[in-house]
Amino acid sequence: MPIYEFSCQKCNSNFETFVISHKNINSVQCPKCGSKKVQKVVSAFNCGCSSGGSLSFGGSSGCGGGSTRFG
């Protein structure tokens, strides 16, 4: 099952959600605050750094869509 982990940029909560297609990733909302400013968590980056500032994603190409800048 395509379950992805997301991190909310607004309330900083992580959650997992069922994503049917890649289109749905853009319409994922935080179940806690309802914000759409969510960032897909890449498992490869799961290094155990719980506290921290902003993570920069931008290495992988082909991830079309609007670019969001934090900070």
- Rank residues 10 and 22 by Cβ distance to Zn ion and give the closer one: 10
- Rank residues 60 and 68 by Cβ distance to Zn ion and give the closer one: 68
Q: Which of 18, 24, 26, 33 binds Zn ion (CB under 5 A)?
A: 33
Measure Cα distances from 5 to 2, 70 in Å: 10, 19
- Binding flag, residue 35, Zn ion (CB under 5 A): yes
Q: Which residues bind Zn ion (CB under 5 A)?
A: 8, 10-11, 30, 32-33, 35
